[in-house]
Amino acid sequence: RKPVTITTLRSMYRKGEPIAMLTAHDFPSALVADAAGMDVVLVGDSLAMVSLGMNDTNAVTLDDMVLHCRSVTRAVRSAFVVGDLPMGSYEVTPQQAVESAIRLVKQAHIQAVKLEGGVDLAPAIKAVTSAGIPVVAHIGLTPQRQNALGGFRAQGKSVAGALKLLEDAYAVQEAGAFMVVLEAIPAEIAAIITKKLRIPTIGIGAGHGCSGQVLVQVDMTGNFAPGRHLPKFVKKFANVWAEAKQGIDQYRAEVKSRQYPAKEHTYAIDGEHVAEFQR
């Protein structure tokens, strides 16, 4: 497969071909996403929850993102790799946003950054774009702003809310974002916004009217312990946890019963050497 570039993504958008995007947070999760033909791999700061066991994304640092982005770009051969700018690494000044974005490109070799926010973050988007680093914007439910939003709640469900979303969408497009993630908003609103914009929209909980879709890999592969709450928009396409659990259960049983390791898992040695060693 030829490497996906920003030009490839623009051409998919022009042709109306949906863009398939998935998160990865380390080497193996990136390998499988790339092998499955993802157009875009996102190193999302959701790795806070799915990889680091945190309750939300707020404590993730730029150092954390550099480490995870590096492991992902080592694996990916074809997909376009986007790295999230974590909370606190881009909101202070546009200059701070540029410095953080440059670090992710130089030290982790990602091809674009994603940052959360609309109208208020337009100056940061403009500055990063001007520095030659493509920006994916992220509006609607912006998890880094959960305290301001009153939790992880769908956005744009009122007329005023929908108008605010449209204003944010226009602002990020005008500022130079080449793509925008729409998270947890009514499908009709996402479809209208998608029609009005001239850059691709990537939906997560935003219906099928977007230019593409993104999901968190650990969620959609079912690689999580039973009982975990999943957002309404997640579809579980596989059952990786159950598969891994079954294998580990069996391993434990075979260790306890000495069934494992069997002869074929064991190194051979000449019997005479053993005899001599024993003497």
- Chain residues binding Na ion by CB under 5 A are 44-45, 84
Identify whether the C-beta of residue 157 lies closer than 8 Å to the C-beta of residue 177.
Answer: no
- Residue 62 interacts, among ligand KIV, Na ion, none and using kind-specific CB cut-offs from 5 to 8 Å, with none
Residue 216 as a binder of ligand KIV (CB under 6 A): the answer is yes
Alpha helices in 115-239 (DSSP H): 122-130, 146-149, 159-175, 187-196, 217-220
Residue 181 as a binder of ligand KIV (CB under 6 A): the answer is yes
In the complex with ligand KIV, the residue whose CB is nearer, 127 or 214, is 214
Residue 19 as a binder of ligand KIV (CB under 6 A): the answer is no
Residue 23 as a binder of ligand KIV (CB under 6 A): the answer is yes
Q: How far, in Å, CA of 77 to CA of 178, rounded?
A: 22
Q: Which residue is nearest to ligand KIV (CB)?
A: 44
Q: How far, in Å, CA of 224 to CA of 222, rounded?
A: 6
CA distances from 28 to 61, 68, 189, 245 (A): 22, 11, 36, 18
What does 45-84 look like in DSSP terms, one character per residue? TTHHHHTT--SSSTT--HHHHHHHHHHHHHH-SSSEEEEE
- Residue 103 interacts, among Na ion, ligand KIV, none and using kind-specific CB cut-offs from 5 to 8 Å, with none
243 belongs to the catalytic site: no
Q: Given the residues 17, 91, 174, 183, select the one marked as catalytic.
A: 183
- Residue 204 interacts, among ligand KIV, Na ion, none and using kind-specific CB cut-offs from 5 to 8 Å, with ligand KIV
Active site residues: 183
Residue ranges in contact with ligand KIV by CB under 6 A = 23, 42, 44-46, 84, 138, 181, 204, 214, 216
